[in-house]
């Protein structure tokens, strides 16, 4: 499975591609950071990110895109910019029929370090080890994009099976309720 990981941001948007093998084996195929200057118009910054992500999608053909889920930050403007960048990434993938999955920062940290409270240095260190890289990816946005992709390789299939099982259980529950309701209506009509 080829997973494109994206650490969204307006100033720096990390993008990475990994491929999962048997077991927990994961290979890094590419990593980069899309940069936009803070004095650039917002619409132009989003367009630059969208175009870069489109290029990645069209070049690498990932099976899924893993994006960091935006969480409430102290700086509302930072959270808003992150959410906008994540939105253009999701849009570009959806336009190509590529599924998008969102992972929280603590979920990613727990997947790669074993602790949902790990700091950026610990994530970078573990990603460097997991992927057998000679030197740590820089800046931290690149390491975060790789961590997102690795997290999805390891957790995504399990999460999707759990979601499918929950949907199947809900459908069975709905069918049962419909049968009970029909039986009650039939009994009341007698």
- Is 141 catalytic? The answer is yes
| H or E element, residue 190 | none
Name the active-site residue from 30, 41, 44, 68.
68
| Helix count and strand count (H, E) for the chain | 5, 5
Instruction: Exactly one of 44, 141, 144, 174 is catalytic; name it.
Output: 141
Query: In the beta sheet, which residues pair with residue 151?
Result: none
Is 174 annotated as catalytic?
no
Torsion angle in degrees (nearest 10) through CA of 73, 78, 136, 123: 10
Examine the residue annotation and report whether 68 is marked as an active-site residue of this protein: yes
Distance CA 111, CA 78 (A): 25
Go through the chain and tell me how many residues it has.
190
- In DSSP terms, which residues pair with 35 in a beta bridge? 12
Give the sign of the dihedral formed by CA 104, CA 131, CA 119, CA 82: negative
Catalytic residue positions, numbered: 7, 68, 141
């Amino acid at each position: 499975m080829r997973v494109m990981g994206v650490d969204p941001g307006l100033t720096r948007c990390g993008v990475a591609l990994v491929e999962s093998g048997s077991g927990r084996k994961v290979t890094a195929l590419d990593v980069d950071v899309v940069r936009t200057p803070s004095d650039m118009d917002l619409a132009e910054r989003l367009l630059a990110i969208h175009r870069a992500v489109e290029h990645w999608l069209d070049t690498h053909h990932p099976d899924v895109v893993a994006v960091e889920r935006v969480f409430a930050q102290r700086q509302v403007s930072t959270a808003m910019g992150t959410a906008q960048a994540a939105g253009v990434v999701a849009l570009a993938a959806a336009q190509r029929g590529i599924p998008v999955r969102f992972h929280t920062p603590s979920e990613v940290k727990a997947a790669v370090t074993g602790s949902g409270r790990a700091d950026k240095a610990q994530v970078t260190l573990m990603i460097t080890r997991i992927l057998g890289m000679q030197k740590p990816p820089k800046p931290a946005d690149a390491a975060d994009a790789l961590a997102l992709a690795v997290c999805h390789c390891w957790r995504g299939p399990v999460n999707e099976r759990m979601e499918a099982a929950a949907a199947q259980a809900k459908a069975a529950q709905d069918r049962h309720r419909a049968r009970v309701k029909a039986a009650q209506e039939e009994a009341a009509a007698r």
